């Protein structure tokens, strides 16, 4: 899942049957068949990668996010989604605490000076932040902590999302608003997703429902035989 930009807001369009000039055709490693992605959601190659360098068997897509949060009735993706990458399952690595190397960033950020761990969502989540890092890391607890339990991460805890606060310019106004953007990586039955979205809360909720909506739309982009 690389070589393509994944966080670009694209314009929406109604899907048409089959593949035509309005589509780009992609394949994903390990997935049978092809994907016909509407050009309104196609993300071009990163400019500094030479055209002679072949891309991996994955593809990027732009989402339907708008900085004014306006509802896009003709956009097939959830309005909170900025964009993402569809890639092969063999490239996907679930971030489970016990599987991380001791020197991995996810572990060192916990032990570095200035780190802070906080139990949230009735013990089901631990957030990790560090004053030297603008992001915070949302970990889902395999076994919820009891009230008053010491915040910590254990072997089967899984990274739910990585989030950060950005200011976005309101269209037509010289004003900005605070917005929380999160990145999530998740595996489906046939392929994996790596996508970014705006969250209304510091800890994103119902991410599984958002996963399902994106997987469903990507499946609708499969080319008809």
pTM of the model: 0.84
Distances (CA, A) of 224 to 15, 22, 57, 164, 219: 12, 14, 19, 39, 11
Residue 99 pLDDT:
96
Q: What average pLDDT values come out for the chain (225 residues) when binned by 10 residues? A: 37 36 90 94 74 75 79 79 93 94 93 92 94 95 87 96 92 84 96 95 96 97 90
Question: What's the residue count for the chain?
Answer: 225
Residue 52 pLDDT:
63
Residue 17 pLDDT:
38
Residue 43 pLDDT:
87
Q: What residue spans define the domains of the chain?
A: 23-93+175-220, 97-156
Residue 175 pLDDT:
85
């Amino acid at each position: 899942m690389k070589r393509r930009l994944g966080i670009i807001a694209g314009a929406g369009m109604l899907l048409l049957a089959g593949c035509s000039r309005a589509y780009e055709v992609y394949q994903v490693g390990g997935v049978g068949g092809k994907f016909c992605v509407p050009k309104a959601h196609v993300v071009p190659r990163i400019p500094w990668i030479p055209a002679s360098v072949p891309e991996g068997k994955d593809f990027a897509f732009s989402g339907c996010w708008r900085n004014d949060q306006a509802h896009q009735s003709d956009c097939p993706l959830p309005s909170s989604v900025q964009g993402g990458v569809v890639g092969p399952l063999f490239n996907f690595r679930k971030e489970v605490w016990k599987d991380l190397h001791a020197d991995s960033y996810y572990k060192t950020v916990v032990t570095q000076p200035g780190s802070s761990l906080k139990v949230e969502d009735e013990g089901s989540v631990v957030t990790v932040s560090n004053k030297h890092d603008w992001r915070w890391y949302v970990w889902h607890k395999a076994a919820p902590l009891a009230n008053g339990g010491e915040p910590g991460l254990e072997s089967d805890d899984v990274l739910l999302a990585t989030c950060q606060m950005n200011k976005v310019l309101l269209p037509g106004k010289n004003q900005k608003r605070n917005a929380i953007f999160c990145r999530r990586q998740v595996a489906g039955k046939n392929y994996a997703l790596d996508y970014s979205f705006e969250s209304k809360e510091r800890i994103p909720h119902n991410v599984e429902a958002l996963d399902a909506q994106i997987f469903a739309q990507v499946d609708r982009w499969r080319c008809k035989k």
